[in-house]
Amino acid sequence: MQIDIPSHIEKLLFLHEALVIPGFGGFTATRTPATTDYVGGTVNSPSKILSFSENLTVDDGILINDIALTHGISVESAQKVVDEFVEKMKNLLSQREIVTLSGVGRLYKNYVQKIQFLPDSTNFNAASYGLPPLQFSPIARSREVSEHHTTEINQREDTPISNETLASMPPPTMPESTYAPQRSKKSSLGPILGIVFFLVSIIAGIWYWQQNKKTDNTSDNTTLEVPKPKATKKITVEPAAAAPTEKSVQESVNERIAAARKQVKSGRECILIVATLSQSENAEKLRKTLENEGYSVFYQQKKGFVVGIQFNYTDPSEIQDNIDDLKRLTGVSNIIVKKK
């Protein structure tokens, strides 16, 4: 009997906050309230966020009992079906395959051999399942004054104030007086600054006159010396080198091409095996990923689908550089090196 276990997992996640797959791990659903996106003008309904943990391995009996009741089989038979499903998932994950649980999400192993979970966009909150995001926009309202309020204000303004009302009203408060000292009209600071400025200008004029007198005396005592002409050197013009002929240019180009070909031939070929996959779909995805990154892909069908890259190298450090780049790109830590 073929039993679709992922459909049971999806159904039970709507009914329970946690679900354990015996011997493999467990899913936990966390409720999140409704969220508002003021930029996009949408309100998202409440939902559940799924997370996976390898530490939840103790059987809670929910999955096995649901399979037994739904298909009318014994608990032992349901336990055997779940064990076979768990063993199949572990084998696929150990081969660097991606396990897809329809309606739930995808499972894979990272470079440190830890299982990672990518949930689907399914909302497992049964109360808000299927509700689309609500669109909203702000409403602008103008303030209106009622006619009744305006008539009351006009009546208050038109009614005269009686003498008794005026007598009962408190007298208006007067502002407190502040003392501001008067400034003296005449200030003795201005004449002092004028005298100081006058003395400074006189001293500066005397200093300038003495400097001009010194420069005049030094200019009278100086004599001009006429420099003697230097001996001229004879300049000999050598004949220019002959322009390269078309034949010599072609020979130099051929020599450079031959040297480049020799350098290319001297390099050795290396093949780096990234993974050996059992499913052609996953092998094709990995091959396209390597091609998009600009690698020369090595693809071979031998006991599975062998996917890697091939390149020529002259320095062994180029092999390690490519291995490090492939680890960062694919997350695979065990890369096989094949040299030719």
pLDDT in tens, 219-250: 555 444 444 544 444 445 455 445 556 667 67
Q: Give residue 222's pLDDT.
A: 46
* Contact status, residue 63 vs residue 12, Cβ threshold 8 Å: yes
Mean pLDDT of 24-32: 87
* Contact status, residue 47 vs residue 13, Cβ threshold 8 Å: no
Instruction: Look at residue 43 and tell me whether its pLDDT is greater than 90.
Output: no
Close Cβ partners of 46 (under 8 Å, ≥ 6 residues apart): 31, 32, 33, 34, 125, 127, 128
Whole-prediction pTM: 0.38
Dig out the tokens for 231 from the structure.
């001996």
What gap in Å lies between CA 52 and CA 99, rounded to an integer? 13
Candidates 270, 274, 271; CA nearest to 330 is: 274
- DSSP three-state, residue 237: coil
pLDDT in tens, 159-201: 565 666 656 666 666 555 554 555 554 556 778 888 888 888 8
pLDDT in tens, 9-21: 888 888 888 889 9
Q: For residue 304, how many other CB atoms are within 10 A of its CB?
A: 15
Class of domain 264-339: alpha beta
What gap in Å lies between CA 169 and CA 165, rounded to an integer? 6
Phi, psi (degrees; rounded to nearest 5) at 88 = -65, -40
* Contact status, residue 58 vs residue 18, Cβ threshold 8 Å: no
Q: End-to-end alpha-carbon separation of the chain, Å? A: 50
For tokens 């949408």, the residue is 42
* Contact status, residue 55 vs residue 117, Cβ threshold 8 Å: no
Strands, sheet with 115-119, edge to edge from the N-terminal-most edge strand:
99-101, 105-109, 115-119
Q: What is the CATH number of domain 5-133?
A: 4.10.520.10
pLDDT in tens, 66-95: 998 988 899 899 899 999 999 999 999 999
Q: Give residue 122's pLDDT.
A: 78
Domain boundaries, the chain: 5-133, 264-339
